Amino acid sequence: HLEYFEEAVNYLLDHPQVKGPGVGLLGSSKGGDLCLSMASFLKGITATVLVNGSVANVGGALHYKDEILPPLGLDPNRVRLTKDGLADIVDVLNSPLEGADQKSFIPIERAESAFLFLVGQDDHNWKSEFYANEASKRLQAHGRKKPEIICYPETGHYIEPPYFPLCRASLHTLVGGPVIWGGEPRA
């Protein structure tokens, strides 16, 4: 329910130390698609940064007033197991460009925000580069400014500050088991 986040945005916009005219958002993974949804439905968002985010609503229905975005469909049969027995889920989600799954595409053309997409090109959670490029196409098709997209080769789903340890795999809450995230330590 985006009204929950709308309350926080309005609080910040009314705060005397916020210079305005809007606020910026930073989200990674599911937080990225939440930020994209906030920028699309809420007023007062002027900048949005997504780190390996999705352009489709993922994981459950998104509600805002009388609108509902269904979650992007998935096929658990597309999970691949690594030789170590970890799940590689990069191909599990359906394309948000096809069939009924088009309804899960976040209506980013409504946003009044500037966008920056940070993309790990070895993301094994989902197809972050594809999502960033589709967002760019959709924005431009609706006469909006082309977003900035910065791609990081050999970088996985987690893009952390320099010298942080690489998280190769961990428990994925929605999957209910360990998944690989992709990426190489140096990248």
CATH assignment at residue 166: 3.40.50.1820
Alpha carbons 101 and 66: distance in angstroms, whole number = 19
Mean pLDDT, all residues of the chain: 95
* 8 Å CB contact between 159 and 122: no
Can you give the pLDDT at residue 161? 83
Residue tagged 């009204």 (tokens): 3
Say if 101 falls within a structural domain: yes
**64-82 confidence digits (pLDDT tens):** 999 999 999 999 999 999 9
DSSP string, the chain: -HHHHHHHHHHHHHSTT---S-EEEEEETHHHHHHHHHHHHSSSEEEEEEES--SB--SS-EEETTEEEPPPPB-GGG-EE-TTS-EE-TTTBPPTTSGGGGGGB--GGG---EEEEEEETT-SSS-HHHHHHHHHHHHHHTTPPPPEEEEETT--S----TTPPP--EEEETTTTEEEE----S--
Can you give the pLDDT at residue 50? 97
Say if 186 falls within a structural domain: no
Task: Tell me the percentage of the chain whose pLDDT exceeds 90.
Answer: 91
**16-65 confidence digits (pLDDT tens):** 999 989 999 999 999 999 999 999 999 999 999 999 999 999 999 999 99
Single-letter amino acid code for the residue at 140: Q
Say if 185 falls within a structural domain: no
Say if 118 falls within a structural domain: yes
Say if 169 falls within a structural domain: yes
Mean of the pLDDT values across residues 100-125? 97
Say if 187 falls within a structural domain: no
Work out how many domains the chain is built from and give that number: 1
List the single range of 30-44, 145-159, 171-185 with lowest mean pLDDT. 171-185
Task: Please state the pTM of the whole predicted model.
Answer: 0.94
Which residues are catalytic, by number? Answer: 29, 123, 157
Q: Which domain holds residue 58?
A: 2-180
Q: Give the model's confidence band at 187: pLDDT under 50 very low, under 70 low, under 90 confident, else very high.
A: confident
Alpha carbons 155 and 95: distance in angstroms, whole number = 22
List the single range of 70-74, 145-149, 169-173 with lowest mean pLDDT. 169-173
pLDDT at 186 over 90: no
Alpha carbons 122 and 152: distance in angstroms, whole number = 8
